[in-house]
Amino acid sequence: MESGPRILRDVLENCAVFCGRGGFISREGSHMSNGKEVVLLTGASGHMGFEAFRMLWEKRDRYDIVLLLRPSRVNRRRFRCYERQAGIVPRRGPGTVQGNGLKIVWGDARSREDVAEACRGIDWCLHLMAVIPPEADRDPEYTDLINNVATGYIIEAIESQDPEHIRMVYVGSVAQYGSRLPPVHVGRAGDPLLSCAYDYYSPSKNRAELAVMESRIRHRVSLRQTFIMIPDIFSLLDPILFHQPLDTYMESITLRDAARMLLRCLDMNDHPGFWRNAYNVSGGPACRATYLEFLDRIYRMMGVDCTRVMERRWFALQNFHCCFFEDARLLNEHLHHWDGGETLEDYYLQVWEALPWYLKLTGMLNRRFRPFRLLVQWITRMKLTRLALRESGPLGWIRNNDEGRIRAFYGSMEAFRNIPGWDEQMPCLDHDREYIRLDHGYDESAGKLDVEDL
């Protein structure tokens, strides 16, 4: 027999669902409840997703929010305060709860039923849920299920309701373009989508984007997101740090601006020219840097010389993504997210502010006392060496004679051995260097295509 508290909790949950506390989505599902549009935000537990959720939470006077979340302990803790503010009685295990302006489907994106429940009665789908590297590289099958198959379920659910009304904003990735080292280091929408070798993330995003763009959803768009610079940068320490060539050109975006950009899509509605396109996303020219410049600034912030704690040959020579964008301004012309946006200098300040006190103290001591700095650099080098020696790190590939990855990321073992030190033959890192503009195979200067052109 069920206990009293359990029965009471179930009664309260049912009241929230059937009575629609706060005038939220009815059991049958309907658009514009209480004059507010209903927004499904997927991936709300990720870096960009949670930042977007927090911004959307401040707009509850205009929008009701729907989330599809795994019922993990971490997710439950993170969203518990929002459940309470919405008057929701938290529940254990999977299931749907809803209250004043918030509905959470505690479920699994691999479940067609859970996805359908999350999509029921929505006006908008902001779809940024994804398994990203390095996690994506460790479980390719799971990655495809979340990134690709689940996207198909969302499309299916929208098409079964109202594909003429519901608007879908799909968040893609710069990884879809594959390796774009000089002289093709500047990209634009329409360039070939060529995934890197051993990259399981990019193909899943390409397949999902194709499904979105070929769907019957009238208002659909793909935003190919660049590298999102999170303040807690040291939480990203992983052997993938060394997969990226030092002369990679990066046009990134801060976490806050990425979320702000996404929410500005909600103002598009029937905005002419915005929908049924793919755009490149970045923070603009003020967020440009090469990978070596980026690493140098991050480590100098700690009073450390990055060339003293890492060897140049640890970094791959090819086979990773990121580039400058020729056309990121096109999205900005619609969303104006560069207006009042953050720069690289703003980001470096955010990194410093996010550091725990003991790392700030370490950085200050490094700059003042050379013996202390040498000790810290020695310890850091030992830690990074162990990182590079992991199975997915470059020294791990060498130790295990992983010929496939050595060939993919270096070209050959000989090329790896011939990489010089930091003081020899450094690559050109000029931001204004000439580049080859990829030909899209037709006369781009012409007007609209006619039958004869086809």
pLDDT given at position 32 = 46
| Burial bucket for residue 207 (CB in 10 Å: 0-12, 13-18, 19+) | middle
Residue 121's nearest CA partner among 233, 36, 216, 5 is 36
pLDDT given at position 90 = 86
Q: Output phi, psi for 144, to 5 deg.
A: -70, -35
pLDDT given at position 33 = 54
pLDDT given at position 11 = 43
pLDDT given at position 272 = 83
pLDDT given at position 91 = 84
> CA-to-CA distance for 443 and 106, rounded, in angstroms?
50
| Burial bucket for residue 104 (CB in 10 Å: 0-12, 13-18, 19+) | buried
Is residue 234 one of the residues assigned to a domain? no
Question: Looking at residue 96, which CATH number applies to its domain?
Answer: 3.40.50.720
Q: What is the DSSP string of 373-437?
A: HHHHHHHHHHHHHHHHTSTTSHHHHHHTT-HHHHHHHHSSHHHHHT---TTSSPPP--TT---PP
Residue 172's nearest CA partner among 239, 228, 117 is 228
Q: Number of folded domains in the chain?
A: 1
pLDDT given at position 92 = 85
Is residue 70 one of the residues assigned to a domain? yes
- Retrieve residue 88's tokens: 């929701």
- Retrieve residue 432's tokens: 């204004």
Beta pairing class for 95-98 and 102-106: antiparallel
| Burial bucket for residue 11 (CB in 10 Å: 0-12, 13-18, 19+) | exposed
Domain span at residue 144 reads 8-226+253-281+323-340
Cβ-contact 97, 13 below 8 angstroms? yes
Is residue 292 one of the residues assigned to a domain? no
| pLDDT tens readout for residues 354-394 | 999 999 999 999 999 999 999 999 999 999 999 999 999 99
> CA-to-CA distance for 241 and 383, rounded, in angstroms?
13
- Spatial CB neighbours of 323, under 8 Å, sequence gap ≥ 6: 174, 177, 180, 184, 185, 186, 187, 248, 249, 250, 251
- Spatial CB neighbours of 447, under 8 Å, sequence gap ≥ 6: none
The alpha carbons of the chain give a radius of gyration, in whole angstroms, of 24
| pLDDT tens readout for residues 192-206 | 999 999 999 999 999
Query: Could you tell me the pTM of the whole model?
Result: 0.91
pLDDT given at position 1 = 41
Q: How many CB atoms lie within 10 A of CB 434?
A: 9
Is residue 385 one of the residues assigned to a domain? no
Average pLDDT, the chain: 92
Is residue 307 one of the residues assigned to a domain? no
| pLDDT tens readout for residues 34-76 | 789 999 999 999 999 999 999 999 999 999 999 999 999 999 9
pLDDT given at position 21 = 37
pLDDT given at position 24 = 54
C-alpha separations of 140 from 69, 117, 147, 227, 239 in Å: 21, 26, 10, 21, 18
> CA-to-CA distance for 59 and 73, rounded, in angstroms?
27
Taking 70 as the pLDDT cut, the residues of the chain under it are: 1-33, 449, 453-454
For tokens 């401040």, name the residue. 58
Is residue 247 one of the residues assigned to a domain? no
Is residue 101 one of the residues assigned to a domain? yes
The alpha-helical segments, DSSP class H, found in 214-309 are 255-264, 291-301, 306-309
Residue 307's nearest CA partner among 324, 321, 295 is 295
> CA-to-CA distance for 102 and 39, rounded, in angstroms?
10
Is residue 22 one of the residues assigned to a domain? yes
> CA-to-CA distance for 115 and 156, rounded, in angstroms?
9
Q: What is the dihedral of CA 26, 30, 31, 32, to 10 degrees?
A: -40
> CA-to-CA distance for 151 and 214, rounded, in angstroms?
12
User: What DSSP element (H or E) covers 187?
Assistant: strand 186-187
Give just the sign of the alpha carbon dihedral 209, 211, 214, 216: negative
